[in-house]
């Protein structure tokens, strides 16, 4: 593996990556581990976590530098247990990447209360529970920490997935609040917003036709990769970047600036005739 970053950039550091068994999370865990970090990954399904650990092992990361566990970030008890496991094994957490998340497409008028709640819990609540746990048990006592929240491209709203748009906007606002509250504790908090145009295990479920729509709405005219998102996450997590906090960095090929980003019925169809 080659890296943009200097070898050993994360030596002696511990990184916890939620949703690290697949896609952007796995690419991030791989880059951090390659740069010397001990990495802990989690997800709801242990088979995905184990596949992630196997992929890291195949890349030459020694078993003693990684840990995987099942943890649903929506459940505070599971979050507490997993963070406890990481601290018991590695003794510290320097970097937290809140990458776990997801949703399903649905028009707002057809969304059940349970469906709304499932997505808010998954993306907003889960991120807060994990962040608070890691900050209070590891980063605030150590007076040091780097948190990177993975959101989505929501600057134009998220018609067709309004629940996730609201949740991700909430995480971006949380990012700004915590950047200020925890500056005094030596903790930097930033977010990375991937465009709706990253080819990954996650977007595979949306199908090629939709991916083609998003590609055509991307000024750079191609889909991004999990590695391209991971690189920005790793930059924000590194000590080389110590004057950036409370920022939201897009990794989107310019998608917010142009085009129909998401295929929902044209809201102006009737007026256009």
Ligand X SMILES: NC(=O)C1=CN([C@@H]2O[C@H](COP(=O)(O)OP(=O)(O)OC[C@H]3O[C@@H](n4cnc5c(N)ncnc54)[C@H](OP(=O)(O)O)[C@@H]3O)[C@@H](O)[C@H]2O)C=CC1
Ligand Y SMILES: CCCCC/C=C/C(=O)SCCNC(=O)CCNC(=O)[C@H](O)C(C)(C)COP(=O)(O)OP(=O)(O)OC[C@H]1O[C@@H](n2cnc3c(N)ncnc32)[C@H](O)[C@@H]1OP(=O)(O)O
DSSP 58-71: HTT--GGGEEEEE-
Q: Nearest approach, Cβ of 135 to ligand Y (angstroms)?
A: 24
Strand partners, 68: 41
> In this complex, which beta carbon is closest to ligand X, that of residue 6 or of residue 257?
257
The Cα 86–Cα 201 span in angstroms is: 26
Residue 21 binds to ligand X (criterion: CB under 6 A): yes
Residue 122 binds to ligand X (criterion: CB under 6 A): yes
Return the residue of 29, 97, 100, 232 that touches ligand X, per CB under 6 A: 100
Those residues whose C-beta lies under 8 Å from the C-beta of residue 269, and which sit 6 or more positions away, are none
Return the residue of 149, 203, 245, 255 that touches ligand Y, per CB under 6 A: 203
Residue 5 binds to ligand Y (criterion: CB under 6 A): no
DSSP 180-194: HHTGGGTEEEEEEEE
Residue 253 binds to ligand X (criterion: CB under 6 A): no
- Contacted entry of ligand Y, ligand X, none for residue 81, CB cut-off 5 to 8 Å set by kind: none
Those residues whose C-beta lies under 8 Å from the C-beta of residue 142, and which sit 6 or more positions away, are 92, 94, 186
> In this complex, which beta carbon is closest to ligand Y, that of residue 6 or of residue 204?
204
Residue 118 binds to ligand Y (criterion: CB under 6 A): yes
- Give the number of residues written for the chain: 273
- Contacted entry of ligand Y, ligand X, none for residue 268, CB cut-off 5 to 8 Å set by kind: none
Residue closest to 259 by CA, chosen among 166, 197, 176, 179: 197
The Cα 179–Cα 244 span in angstroms is: 10
Q: Nearest approach, Cβ of 44 to ligand Y (angstroms)?
A: 8
Q: Which of residues 42-71 bind ligand X (CB under 6 A)?
A: 43-45, 48, 71
> In this complex, which beta carbon is closest to ligand Y, that of residue 131 or of residue 151?
151
Reduced to 3 states, what is the DSSP secondary structure of residue 9? coil
Q: Which of residues 135-164 bind ligand X (CB under 6 A)?
A: 150, 152
Residue 106 binds to ligand Y (criterion: CB under 6 A): yes
Residue closest to 148 by CA, chosen among 107, 198, 94, 197: 94
- Contacted entry of ligand Y, ligand X, none for residue 106, CB cut-off 5 to 8 Å set by kind: ligand Y
What stretch of H or E contains 32?
A: helix 23-34
Return the residue of 15, 24, 124, 191 that touches ligand X, per CB under 6 A: 24
Question: Which tokens sit at 37?
Answer: 């970090």
Residue numbers of the site for ligand Y (CB under 6 A)? 102-104, 106, 112, 114-115, 118-119, 122, 152, 196, 202-203, 206, 210-211, 214
């Amino acid at each position: 593996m080659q890296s943009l970053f200097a070898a050993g950039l994360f030596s002696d550091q511990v990184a916890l990556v939620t949703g690290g068994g697949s896609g952007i999370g796995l690419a991030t865990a791989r880059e951090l581990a390659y740069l010397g970090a001990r990495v802990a990954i989690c997800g709801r399904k242990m088979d995905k976590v184990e596949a992630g650990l196997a992929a890291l092992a195949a890349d030459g990361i020694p078993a003693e530098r990684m840990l995987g566990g099942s943890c649903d970030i929506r459940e505070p008890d599971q979050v507490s247990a997993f963070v406890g496991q990481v601290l018991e094994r590695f003794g510290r957490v320097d970097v937290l990447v809140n990458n776990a998340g997801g949703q399903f497409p649905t028009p707002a008028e057809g969304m059940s209360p349970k469906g709304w709640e499932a997505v808010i819990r998954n993306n907003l609540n889960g991120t807060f529970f994990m962040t608070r746990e890691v900050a209070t048990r590891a980063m605030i006592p150590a007076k040091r920490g780097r948190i990177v929240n993975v959101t989505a491209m929501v600057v134009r709203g998220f018609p067709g997935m309004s629940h996730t748009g609201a949740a991700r906007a909430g995480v971006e606002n949380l990012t700004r609040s915590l950047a200020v509250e925890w500056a005094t504790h030596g903790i930097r908090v930033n977010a990375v917003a991937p465009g709706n145009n990253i080819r990954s295990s996650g977007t595979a479920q949306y199908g090629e036709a939709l991916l083609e729509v998003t590609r055509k709405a991307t000024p750079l005219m191609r889909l991004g990769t999990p590695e391209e998102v991971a690189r920005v996450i790793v930059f924000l997590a590194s000590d080389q970047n110590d004057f950036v906090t409370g920022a939201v960095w897009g990794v989107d090929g310019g998608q917010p600036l142009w085009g129909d980003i998401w295929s929902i019925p044209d809201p102006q169809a009737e007026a256009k005739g």
